[in-house]
Amino acid sequence: MKKRYIIPFLLLSLGSCKQDFLNQEDPNAVTVENYFRTENDVRLAVNGIYQALRSGNNLGEGSALFSEERSDNTGRDDNQSNAGEPFQFNDFSILPSNSYLKSHWANMYDGISRSNTLLSRIDQVTFETEAMKGRYMAEAKFLRALMYFHMVRKFGDLPLSTVEITTKQQASELAFRQPESVIYTQIVKDLTEALDSNLPNTQWEYAVGRTSKAAINAILGQVYLTMGATMTENKQANLEKAEQHLTTAYGMRTFGKLTEIPYEQVFDVNQKMTCKELIFQIQYLQGDQIYSSSIARNNQARGETINSRFPSTGLGGNVKMDLVKDYEAADTRKDFSIRFASSPQVNDWFITKYRDNSDAAGSQGWGGNDFILIRYADVMLLLAETKMHLGKDAEAIALLDEVRERAGLPSYAISSADANYSSKYPTLKEAILHERRVELAFENHRWYDLIRNYNAEELVTYFRSKSQADYGNAQISNISTKDRYYPIPFDEYQLDPTRMYQNQGY
């Protein structure tokens, strides 16, 4: 755990040496002690926290392995490549020694560490206005809360740190798992304090790719919904707060109805800076070898050209037949989001939701797709789910219907009269969960939706009710109640098996 809290973009030495010539400072290095001097230093450090999100081991476009591929939407049928470790996620056979899981844990705590260091050092800097200082603090707290929120849902109890780690002893003292409730309390505290700033309501009033009060309210609402749906204490109060914050986020939109924004526009690289549905996204730079997006080229299957000009030789982004069958016949989102690759080497469905065939992306597929973390259809369906829990079914259905209308589908009332629809989604809860699945497919929400709506036992029942033929090579029968959480990476557990205890079943 000790090394996890050292921020990589600044040099921090925890060692010492008696020889004076070895104690001299490297003139080309910048220590934490010497870094935070100007307001611009703080701005760049905040940028460094956002930059941490870009990694596929954090929340960037390649992070589907840790969420979407855990669900029934995607996965991989190859159980041999990379020692079969990626296959373990969807196969419910993940081991504490899994190196991908270890990298994810380390990278997330790296991002948290960056936030902690900035917040611990910001008082060293004199700002022209206190409002700008408060804005930078709000951004750091939002990003820290966002990463802890993703981690607590995956691992449960977690080590918690909100200060800069400067010594090995301090790191060792903090390397113990604290209850989920404690982690959620800190997440709520960070997000609530972030709202008490001069951040604008939308990213368009600040900068695309940076947070806003709409984004903070959206995540805070989802946090309260998760607590209200999964915890026994304060259920009603948490759900009411979820409704409050999701309603506030929804009220900050700059459009009228969702039908004003075509579904395709949400993912159009030429409109990513202006699309009114986007609330918060991770940005990538089109045409740049280092900072470009590779999601379009990586999802494209052999013989296809719809995503990218890059000539693919692989299978593309895997789509489970279980998801393909969940699209309703008239759903316009299906043809935009997925496609069947007829190449004999593929002969399967692949993801087409992310596309960049531009001259700027070129034949190398250096795309400009941003990875969307929060958008308004997501907020609307979260709000519908919240209202459903609060017994406000009519209001929930109105939100559900607006999302369905854009997809070219009939209202919930009309659809419920259809025997096929009503047999697949007999309750409003299942209808909303279905709608979130097809609306937000491949945006890394599905696993979180499942564990929010089903407890460990129900999750096992849900997966085992599926057809193995529609699930691919990963074995549904492997799932057990232990799979509600990931194991704690072995190296972290080994630090202190008592205080870094392993999750049950691993």
pLDDT above 70: percentage of residues in the chain? 94
The answer, yes or no, to whether residue 427 has pLDDT greater than 80, is yes
d(CA 86, CA 224): 31
Judge contact between 124 and 419, C-beta under 8 A. no
d(CA 274, CA 449): 28
d(CA 418, CA 415): 5
pLDDT computed for residue 170 by the predictor: 93
Mean pLDDT of all residues in 252-266:
98
pLDDT computed for residue 24 by the predictor: 44
Please name each of the domains of the chain with its CATH number.
Answer: 32-199+454-500 (1.25.40.390), 203-281+375-438 (1.25.40.390), 284-369 (no CATH)
Helix (H) or strand (E) holding 216: helix 213-230
Mean pLDDT of all residues in 27-39:
75
The answer, yes or no, to whether residue 335 has pLDDT greater than 80, is yes
pLDDT computed for residue 327 by the predictor: 98
d(CA 201, CA 215): 8
Compute and round to an integer the Cα radius of gyration of the chain. Answer: 23
d(CA 388, CA 394): 9
Mean pLDDT of all residues in 427-449:
98
Q: Over the chain, what is the mean pLDDT? A: 93
pLDDT computed for residue 14 by the predictor: 28
DSSP secondary structure, 328-361, as one string: -TT-HHHHHHEEEE--TTT-EEEE-SS-B--TTT
Q: How confident is the model at residue 15 (pLDDT cuts 50, 70, 90)?
A: very low
Quick one: angle between helices 428-439 and 446-453, nearest 10?
A: 170
Q: What does each C-alpha distance from 157 to 178, 285, 308, 488, 503 come to in angstroms?
A: 5, 36, 41, 10, 9
The answer, yes or no, to whether residue 11 has pLDDT greater than 60, is no
The answer, yes or no, to whether residue 13 has pLDDT greater than 50, is no
At residue 505, the 3 state secondary structure works out as coil
pLDDT tens readout for residues 263-308: 999 999 999 999 999 999 999 999 999 999 999 999 999 999 999 9
DSSP code of 482? G
d(CA 291, CA 389): 42
Mean pLDDT of all residues in 34-45:
93
β-pair partners for 338: 351
Q: How confident is the model at residue 3 (pLDDT cuts 50, 70, 90)?
A: very low
Mean pLDDT of all residues in 489-493:
97
Mean pLDDT of all residues in 434-461:
98
The answer, yes or no, to whether residue 129 has pLDDT greater than 60, is yes
Q: How confident is the model at residue 34 (pLDDT cuts 50, 70, 90)?
A: confident
Mean pLDDT of all residues in 486-498:
96
The answer, yes or no, to whether residue 110 has pLDDT greater than 90, is yes
pLDDT computed for residue 88 by the predictor: 97
pLDDT tens readout for residues 71-104: 999 999 888 888 899 999 999 999 999 999 999 9
DSSP code of 95? -
pLDDT above 90: percentage of residues in the chain? 91
pLDDT computed for residue 79 by the predictor: 87
pLDDT tens readout for residues 164-217: 999 999 999 999 999 999 999 999 999 999 999 999 999 999 999 999 999 999
Read off the pTM: 0.94
pLDDT computed for residue 32 by the predictor: 76
Mean pLDDT of all residues in 418-430:
97
Judge contact between 151 and 187, C-beta under 8 A. no
Q: How confident is the model at residue 462 (pLDDT cuts 50, 70, 90)?
A: very high
The answer, yes or no, to whether residue 22 has pLDDT greater than 70, is no
Q: How confident is the model at residue 29 (pLDDT cuts 50, 70, 90)?
A: low
d(CA 143, CA 160): 15
H-assigned helices in 290-343? 295-299, 321-324, 332-337
The answer, yes or no, to whether residue 27 has pLDDT greater than 80, is no
pLDDT computed for residue 30 by the predictor: 60
The answer, yes or no, to whether residue 392 has pLDDT greater than 70, is yes
Relative to beta strand 278-282, strand 371-375 is antiparallel
Tokens of 106: 């380390």
